Amino acid sequence: MVNIKIVVEGGLHPNDNNSAAATYNNDEKFRESFHTLLSNIFPPSSFNLVIEPGASYTSAIKSFRQQLQNGNCILLIDLDCPKTEKATKLAELTLTAYTDHVFFMVQEMEAWILSQPGSIIKTYSENIVSTGNLEDDDVFKLIPEEIANPTYWLGIVLSRYFRYDKNGVTKKKKYGKLKDGPLLLAHLDMAGLIETFEDVKRLNTYLENN
């Protein structure tokens, strides 16, 4: 069995002002979601996946460098810029020496979600009322890797097409990275991400060969 540790930008840092239970629950949600996503391609029996939310990118990078010394570890962080600037970003973060172990979500994790509108519908189909045809929205006509600030656009999509009831009051759905991110990730199709995002394809190749 392959042991893989992935340090991911985002989530709660253990030293944040949150209860230990909240931190544990958040970590578990992300771990389970990534495990579900990778299980699309790799049999669960073939790998032992450990997800470590790294909070800020600086904390994630620090943790990644420490963990890499102890075994098979990779870093998964937002690029926050066009993919043509990956080399510049690696240099800026002093990660050039670790290129083979660093994978970017281009431009952010939320671009993965926007690349598969069907996953959004699946996530909220049972408990949120959809209004209009989400898949016809102009944002889905864009090339996913080229969407700037996809977190903002995902929030727009959710508020535009989904409603929920709170104490008898109908409200627009808002996007919360910690609350909604894991839910949406779990509904993504890994094969589709491999076809759409260069670094997801690289990640798949890495996992196949390690």
Query: Model-level pTM?
Result: 0.89
pLDDT the model gives residue 78: 95
d(CA 123, CA 187): 7
Tens digit of each residue's pLDDT (9 = 90 or more) over 160-208: 999 888 898 989 999 998 889 999 999 999 999 999 999 999 999 998 8
The residue among 188 and 9 whose pLDDT is bigger is: 188
Which tokens belong to 69? 């010394």
pLDDT the model gives residue 49: 75
Question: How distant, in Å, are the alpha carbons of 17, 26, 27 from that of 21?
Answer: 12, 9, 10
Domain segments of the chain as ranges: 2-108+191-209, 112-178
Residue of 67, 27, 68 whose CA lies nearest to 181:
27
Tens digit of each residue's pLDDT (9 = 90 or more) over 123-159: 998 777 766 789 999 999 999 999 999 999 999 999 9
pLDDT of 22 strictly over 50: no
pLDDT the model gives residue 148: 96
> What SS3 state is found at 203?
helix
Q: Is 14 left (phi over 0), alpha (psi -120 to 50) or beta?
A: alpha
d(CA 52, CA 5): 7
Least reliable range by pLDDT among 42-51, 71-80, 91-100, 147-156: 42-51
pLDDT of 12 strictly over 70: no
Arithmetic mean of pLDDT, 68-80: 91
Tens digit of each residue's pLDDT (9 = 90 or more) over 91-124: 999 999 999 999 999 999 999 999 999 999 999 9
